[in-house]
Amino acid sequence: MTLDITVVNIALPKISKDLLTNLAQLQWVMNGYTLSFAALLLLAGAISDRMGRRPIFLCGNGVFVLASLGCAMAPSINALIIARVLQGAGGAMVLGTALALIASACEGEPPQVRTSAVGLFAAGGAVSAATGPLIGGMLIQGASWPWLFAINTPVGLLIIFFTLRYVDEKPLPAPRYPLDVAGAVFVTLSLFSLNYAALNFSSDSAPYVCHALLIGLISAVLFLWIEGHRGDRALLHLRLFRIPTFLGAILLSFAGRIFSFGLLPFITLWLNGLLHYSVWHTGLILLSQSLAMVIAAGLSGPLSRLIPVRVLLAIGMFIVAIGLTMSSHVQINSDWLVILPLLLMQGVGADLTMPHLMDLAVSVVPAHQAGAASGTANTFFPLGTAVGIALFGLLLSHVIQQALPLSRLSASDISEPASALQAISNARFNVLTAVPGLQLQAQQAWVDALNLLFRVAAVTSVIAGLAALWLIRPAQPQPEQAQESA
């Protein structure tokens, strides 16, 4: 499930070429998955509390396998986007129940058994996220981009087989509250509508964008109103956000995904489209971030015993900001080494911060709300990815359209007027081949836009670091935890 967030990045240029897409459609290929994943994660957990974790886990795997086949056989970009949305729904059902199944399997075992099991689960997600671009490059180099999705089928079928054979679950108690269906509907409607408005803000669909923005804002207000009135019965426990440390952990997890996974598609497009690196070469370049994480893997734990966690989190954010700033001077003739500081320092910064965020979010809330805190924290990870892709795509499209306005195109500049006009109005990445007379100008627009994205991400990272210093407080034992210890 985590692999399918990052592995697709490497295929974006190939998908664009084969299915004749524009930038907004490529962003939907990414965000269709992450948005449905984030929107349905809390609902999947709530349904599993009523119907059982094992049936929802199995159903999620089945949906994911079928949606993966749909992605592999998609005849058009719209079909691919729909299949990606269904993939995200399946992923939400799987990851919304997996940790609960692990916890149930470890009942009666020593505490370190459960800790090790959850650690392996988290490590699997981290490894798949880090190696996604390289795996994607290998599959595309050896076959084609549909194999990125087709490969999920045998893996999913094996998971279903082993779950049916080996995974048991104890009967669950009857639910105390009715399912928050209205909250689930409004949060889903809000996320997809606001994302549509952001991705199409620079296009010619102005009336639809305004309608989507209005629907998204109204849905968001209704969702917050419903959740506030439901209290502990809500999908999203708004009262948890009154706890400063919990709010700080959520903001850092959200911001961290904005300037990591949110930037990744545009870095990939630059490496593959402007610099013409192969998908295999691009995957190897992006692997440098993963190697930095591996090298720095042993630092986070020892450092947290020497300095306060909030200071460590701030240092991690500031390191990321330094890397982004150092790489924000890309030129037309630059090669991949210009973004090496960004990749290395993002890896180090992520390793210093990410291991502590989930623990912080859960440790500062009452014990009976730990599940809600965990689910909320997990929701904001993919949500940060979706927001980053949408906002950075909006900035990129704006810079390109300002640099290449349609009114400045003359007959002498255009070799193929129809394709050139369509390419530039949609901010398509292959504008360079469609309009040879504007090649240098288009290249400059792209590197200017990329530098702007890096600077905006650097500012976001600094703000996140300052928020960590302000919001994260020393851990105080909760009354229920103190009673349990006694």
Series of mean pLDDT values for 10-residue runs along the chain (486 residues): 80 83 82 88 81 90 96 93 94 86 80 74 73 79 86 93 88 71 88 83 68 90 89 80 87 85 85 82 84 75 81 91 92 88 88 77 69 75 85 82 57 33 41 55 83 92 91 63 44
Query: Which residues lie below 8 Å from residue 375, measured CB to CB, with a gap of 6+?
Result: 41, 42, 45, 96
| Domain layout of the chain by residue ranges | 1-179, 181-234, 242-405+419-479
- Of the candidates 101, 91, 66, 132, the one whose C-alpha atom is nearest the C-alpha of residue 379 is 91
Whether the Cβ atoms of residue 327 and residue 338 lie closer than 8 Å to each other:
yes
Alpha carbon distance 353, 257 (integer Å): 12
Alpha carbon distance 153, 164 (integer Å): 17
pLDDT at 484: 46
pLDDT at 253: 84
Q: Domain 242-405+419-479: give its CATH superfamily.
A: MFS general substrate transporter like domains (1.20.1250.20)
Whether the Cβ atoms of residue 213 and residue 191 lie closer than 8 Å to each other:
no
Instruction: Provide the token pair at 130.
Output: 């880090």
pLDDT at 205: 56
Alpha carbon distance 30, 461 (integer Å): 22
Alpha carbon distance 68, 87 (integer Å): 7
Query: For residue 194, how many C-alpha atoms fall within 13 Å in the half-sphere facing its CB?
Result: 20
Which secondary-structure segment (H or E) carries 435?
none
b/e sequence 366-400, b meaning 16+ C-beta within 10 Å: eeebbbbbbbbbbbbbbbbbbbbbbbbbbebbebb
The DSSP result for 98-147, as a single string, is HHHHHHHHTTTS-HHHHHHHHHHHHHHHHHHHHHHHHHHHHHHHHS-TTH
Q: Which CATH class is domain 1-179?
A: mainly alpha
State how far Cα 260 lies from the chain centre: 9
Same fold, 1-179 and 242-405+419-479: yes
Whether the Cβ atoms of residue 369 and residue 240 lie closer than 8 Å to each other:
yes
pLDDT at 208: 79
Q: What is the pTM of this model?
A: 0.79
Query: For residue 214, how many C-alpha atoms fall within 13 Å in the half-sphere facing its CB?
Result: 6
Which secondary-structure segment (H or E) carries 329?
none
Whether the Cβ atoms of residue 30 and residue 265 lie closer than 8 Å to each other:
yes
